[in-house]
Amino acid sequence: MEKTKCLIIGSGPAGYTAAIYAARADLKPILYEGLQPGGQLTTTTEVDNFPGYADGVDGPTMMEDLKKQATRFGTDARWGMVTNVDTTKRPFKVNIDDGKEIEAETIIIATGATAKYLGIESEEKFMGGGVSACATCDGFFYKGKDVAVIGGGDTAAEEATYLANMCNKVYLIHRRDELRASKAMQKRVFNTPNIEILWNHEVKEVVGVEEGFNKAVNGVILFNNKTGEEKKIDVEGYFVALGHTPNTDLFKNKLEMDNIGYLITKPDSTASSVDGIFAAGDVQDKHFRQAITAAGTGCMAAMESERFIGEQV
Ligand code: NDP
């Protein structure tokens, strides 16, 4: 059976950064890329907030760069999905979808989280052309413009207030007549003059123009679920803020998670509830969810993994 000191699951900024550090520490890591090689950033266009790219970079290029850097030091990056992990004894037995079995002394979980969308066809159509699930990443492109935020929880409240700082007007579209967000966040929303809440409204369709590969949102058609009335609001940005689903199905009942499914790590550490298994990036972070914070915890996970291996001898 194939053996490795360090198996990394996931190929976003957390996974690749962990790989760079683990490879340079001579752990000869094997990294499985998963369903979406490169992770969430491959679905965005311009990344302007990752330090070091003075002129910005597009998401897929940045992920290619990270992969190149990880493989330059000997990371064995592979296509494929991990289908099972036996967390009950070390070395951990890991199954891959091609039938392979690997024994890993340590595992770094960097499987990320998936943004929730309403799932309507027009959302998908305008993805990257006005539809976004991250105000911190894309808000800057809508400076001085009108935008819509969909949702009523803390994520929606946070995204709406963030966007209100730079946009002309923010419509907060919520399906009920009260917000789910914490009282403190609600207060911030209510006290922001350029946020207009459209209560009891749901999205029917995102509309815009499409010319070849260029697409641009110019409005959202809404309906009032109390009166049935339909209306169009003119906006150039459509921010889905329904929350995220951490990709942790593999670890249900195996590792400690919160009630949403985020992996719980020890304070000031990436250590999970099982010794030798570490978690980095969005899979254990519901607050920041940035490429740079994911990369930071990826680095921590690799260093902790190396230290753990050293302590076993
Ligand atoms: P939540 O599940 O709390 O909120 C999701 C929101 O989206 C709800 O208002 C929900 O409406 C709405 N929604 C879901 N599905 C649909 C749909 N199909 N159509 C229309 N609306 C829909 O997710 P959050 O990401 O906001 O928060 C998750 C957790 O993370 C919470 O515990 C939150 O407190 C925490 N968090 C904390 C932050 C902070 O402290 N700064 C920041 C972000 C999150 P409805 O209310 O009607 O169900």
- Nearest residue CA, atom 23 of ligand 1? 243
pLDDT the model gives residue 271: 98
pLDDT the model gives residue 49: 87
Domain map of the chain by residue range?
A: 2-114+244-312, 117-240
- Nearest residue CA, atom 12 of ligand 1? 151
Give yes or no for residue 147 having a pLDDT over 90. yes
CATH class of 2-114+244-312: alpha beta
pLDDT the model gives residue 37: 83
Task: Count the Cβ atoms, other than its own, within 10 Å of residue 238.
Answer: 28
Give yes or no for residue 126 having a pLDDT over 70. yes
Is 65 noted as a catalytic residue in this protein?
no
| Helix then strand then coil, % of the chain, to nearest 5 | 30, 30, 40
Rounded to whole angstroms, what are the CA distances from 276 to 5, 75, 106, 205, 308? 10, 19, 5, 47, 7
Q: Read off the DSSP letter of residue 43.
A: G
Where residue 99 falls among pLDDT bands split at 50, 70, 90?
Answer: very high
pLDDT the model gives residue 35: 81
Is 134 noted as a catalytic residue in this protein?
yes
Share of the chain above pLDDT 70, in %: 99
Measuring from each residue's beta carbon to the nearest atom of ligand 1, which residues come in under 6 Å? 118, 151-156, 158, 175-176, 180, 242-243, 286-287
Are 15 and 32 in contact by the 8 Å Cβ rule? The answer is no
- Nearest residue CA, atom 37 of ligand 1? 154
Share of the chain above pLDDT 90, in %: 87
Spell out where 159-302 has E strands. 169-173, 195-198, 201-211, 214-224, 230-233, 237-240, 244-246, 277-279
Q: What is the pLDDT of residues 21-43, one digit of tens each?
A: 999 999 999 999 998 888 878 76
pLDDT the model gives residue 212: 80
Q: What is the pLDDT of residues 53-88, one digit of tens each?
A: 999 998 889 999 999 999 999 999 999 999 999 999
Name the pTM for this structure.
Answer: 0.82
**Integer Cα distance of 40 and 174 in angstroms:** 25
**Integer Cα distance of 231 and 162 in angstroms:** 25
CA 247 to centroid of ligand 1, rounded, Å = 17
Give yes or no for residue 45 having a pLDDT over 70. no
Is 137 noted as a catalytic residue in this protein?
yes
Q: Do domains 2-114+244-312 and 117-240 have the same CATH topology?
A: yes
- Nearest residue CA, atom 14 of ligand 1? 242
Q: Read off the DSSP letter of residue 262.
A: P
CA 182 to centroid of ligand 1, rounded, Å = 10
User: Which entry of 6, 137, 167, 299 is annotated as an active-site residue?
Assistant: 137
Give yes or no for residue 151 having a pLDDT over 90. yes
Average per-residue pLDDT in the chain?
95
φ, ψ of residue 189 to 5 degrees: the values are: -65, -50
Q: What is the DSSP string of 220-238?
A: EEEEETTT--EEEE--SEE
Q: Is 289 left (phi over 0), alpha (psi -120 to 50) or beta?
A: left
Q: Which atom of ligand 1 is found nearest the CA of 176?
A: 47
Are 127 and 237 in contact by the 8 Å Cβ rule? The answer is no
Bridging pattern class, strands 146-150 and 237-240: parallel
**Integer Cα distance of 283 and 247 in angstroms:** 6
pLDDT the model gives residue 308: 98
Domain spanning 117-240, CATH architecture: 3-Layer(bba) Sandwich (3.50)
Q: What is the pLDDT of residues 163-193, one digit of tens each?
A: 999 999 999 999 999 999 999 999 999 999 9
Higher confidence at residue 105 or residue 136?
105
